[in-house]
Amino acid sequence: MQEEELKAFFTRDRLAALLGIELESVGSGKATARVTLSDKHLNGVDIAHGGTLFTLADFAFAAASNSHGTVAVGINATISYLKPSRAGETLTAEAVEIGRSHRLATYEVRVRNQTGDLVALFQGTVYRKQERLADIAP
């Protein structure tokens, strides 16, 4: 699939849309997503919610793992929080494929703030179905 088709497919992700998370780029086994933090992304102590960081990383992970044109579904994921982020900061999640076999693939996603500091490290694994993404796209 071409980048434009993949980007169009991912506009269907409603949680990402609700949170203002944008897919910047997606290529073979990799993707980058971005969000600028505002009030709605925060937890009770005014820092970026774990769910915000996870959703940002997960979105890049989903794009990277579906980039080969077949449907990939998440099996599990882990996230480590390295540095707190606050409203006004812009975060970028970069997903990279670190292993892929016929049925499984694993990705690492690094979330950085606008000054390049590592904010979170995410690792996720997918099950790769035979179904083609194009067959379920609109």
Summarize as ranges the residues that interact with a copy of itself (CB under 8 A). Answer: 9-10, 12-16, 18-19, 39-45, 49-52, 54-55, 58-59, 62, 71, 73-83, 98-99, 103-104, 106, 108, 118, 121, 123, 125, 127, 136
Report the alpha-carbon distance of residue 7 to residue 23 in Å, rounded: 7
At closest approach, how far in Å is the CB of 57 from a copy of itself? 9
**Among residues 28 and 38, whose Cβ is nearest to a copy of itself?**
38
**137: its two tokens:** 């796209």
Which of 39, 25, 105 has its CA nearest to residue 73?
A: 105
At closest approach, how far in Å is the CB of 137 from a copy of itself? 9
Report the alpha-carbon distance of residue 36 to residue 124 in Å, rounded: 23
**62: its two tokens:** 């989903």
**56: its two tokens:** 């940002």
**Among residues 37 and 114, whose Cβ is nearest to a copy of itself?**
37
**Among residues 76 and 115, whose Cβ is nearest to a copy of itself?**
76
At closest approach, how far in Å is the CB of 106 from a copy of itself? 5
Report the alpha-carbon distance of residue 1 to residue 48 in Å, rounded: 33
**Among residues 30 and 121, whose Cβ is nearest to a copy of itself?**
121
At closest approach, how far in Å is the CB of 12 from a copy of itself? 4
φ, ψ of residue 101 to 5 degrees: the values are -120, -170
At closest approach, how far in Å is the CB of 60 from a copy of itself? 11
Report the alpha-carbon distance of residue 132 to residue 50 in Å, rounded: 32
